[in-house]
């Protein structure tokens, strides 16, 4: 893994700086005319995106732990090449392998409009091959601007078909759970993880008044988090993603997790851009798949 000094030499551009936590975890700070952001090299996990004159859009736990090979609580964990528990081996890490391991920064650039783009790739390693014996290339393209744009690009380099599930497991920062609704999934079917993954249908906008853990399937590309407290909508616009997961652990589960912070669950909701359950992605040899999402704040 490259040192912070080496990264500075190779990738320092105006809006970018590097820092290292006490556990040798490297963070990349971006500060441009549109927003500030922070991306952890472990997991290529976006930890912050705060547009100018806005409150943070991405939630981070006050008790987040920065530990080697442990996903930080909050931000945008990259769940790949499986979402949730591994389909056949429960001993494998939940939400895939790449969110707990260090990626490589391959390119940084300032775009003509002044936004900042970063390209991360996940390097091959023997341990990963033991979990996932298929030759694949995975990249994360992150653009920090008036919008936050994230592209998760997968290329199947193996000589046969491969099926995967994936998610950008985004924790959103909200004023208070009682002030928000998640809109745009009306009429969609969902698997209710809290009720044996039974299939149900969403009737209205989603209000969160207890633990919610739902995989919405065959969903539209646009979803919105309405927040009356912050007087804003967070507009979520995705492509090549058929699933949307909505999750809030509520109090009991939060307390058990230990890194959600006191009553942290009241200030967050996960709305995840994914391909999960029956929306798993089948890639033929050589096929490229790009799941992407854009976040934008609309003031009310």
- Enumerate the active-site residues: 169, 272
Q: Residues interacting with ligand TA6, by CB under 6 A?
A: 71, 84, 94-95, 169, 193, 213, 245, 247, 270, 272
Nearer to ligand TA6, 34 or 295 (CB): 295
Nearer to ligand TA6, 213 or 227 (CB): 213
The DSSP code for 93 is P
Q: Tokens 């009306």 map to which residue?
A: 186
Instruction: For residue 233, count CB atoms less than 10 angstroms from its CB and return exposed for 0-12, middle for 13-18, buried for 19 or more.
Output: middle
- What is the sign, positive or negative, of the torsion defined by CA atoms of 257, 41, 145, 5? positive
CB of 134 vs ligand TA6, minimal distance in Å? 23
Nearer to ligand TA6, 86 or 147 (CB): 86
Q: Which of 224, 279, 278 is nearest to 246 (CA)?
A: 224
Nearer to ligand TA6, 171 or 295 (CB): 171
CB of 109 vs ligand TA6, minimal distance in Å? 31
How many other CB atoms sit within 10 Å of the CB of residue 258? 11
Length of the chain: 300
CB of 77 vs ligand TA6, minimal distance in Å? 6
Q: Which of 222, 225, 220, 217 is nearest to 200 (CA)?
A: 217
Q: Which residue is nearest to ligand TA6 (CB)?
A: 247
CA dist 176 and 188 (Å) reads 25
CB of 136 vs ligand TA6, minimal distance in Å? 22
């Amino acid at each position: 893994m490259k040192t912070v000094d080496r990264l500075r030499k190779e990738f320092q551009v105006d809006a970018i700086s590097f820092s290292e936590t006490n556990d040798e975890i490297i963070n990349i700070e971006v500060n441009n005319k549109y927003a500030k952001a922070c991306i952890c090299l472990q997991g290529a996990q976006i930890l912050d995106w705060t547009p100018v004159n806005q409150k943070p859009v991405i939630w981070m736990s006050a008790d987040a732990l920065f530990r080697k090979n442990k996903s930080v609580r909050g931000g945008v964990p990259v769940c790949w090449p499986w979402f949730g528990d591994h389909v056949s081996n429960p001993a494998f890490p939940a939400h895939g392998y790449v969110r707990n391991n260090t990626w490589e920064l391959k390119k940084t650039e300032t775009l003509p409009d002044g936004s900042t783009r970063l390209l991360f790739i996940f390097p091959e390693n023997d341990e990963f091959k033991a979990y996932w014996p298929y030759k694949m290339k995975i990249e994360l393209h992150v653009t920090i601007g008036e919008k936050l744009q994230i592209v998760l690009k997968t290329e199947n380099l193996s000589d046969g078909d491969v099926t995967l599930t994936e998610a950008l497991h985004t924790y959103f920062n909200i004023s208070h759970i009682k002030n928000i609704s998640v809109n745009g999934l009306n009429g969609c079917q969902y698997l209710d993880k809290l009720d044996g993954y039974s299939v149900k249908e969403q009737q209205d906008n989603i209000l969160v008044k207890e633990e919610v853990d739902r995989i919405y399937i065959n969903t539209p590309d646009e979803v919105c988090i309405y927040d009356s407290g912050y007087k804003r909508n967070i507009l979520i616009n995705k492509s090549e993603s058929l699933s949307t997961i909505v999750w809030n652990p509520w109090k009991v589960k939060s307390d058990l997790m230990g890194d959600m912070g006191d009553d942290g669950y009241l200030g967050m909701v996960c709305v995840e851009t994914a391909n999960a359950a029956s929306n798993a992605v089948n890639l033929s040899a050589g096929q490229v798949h790009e799941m992407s999402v854009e976040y934008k704040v609309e003031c009310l």
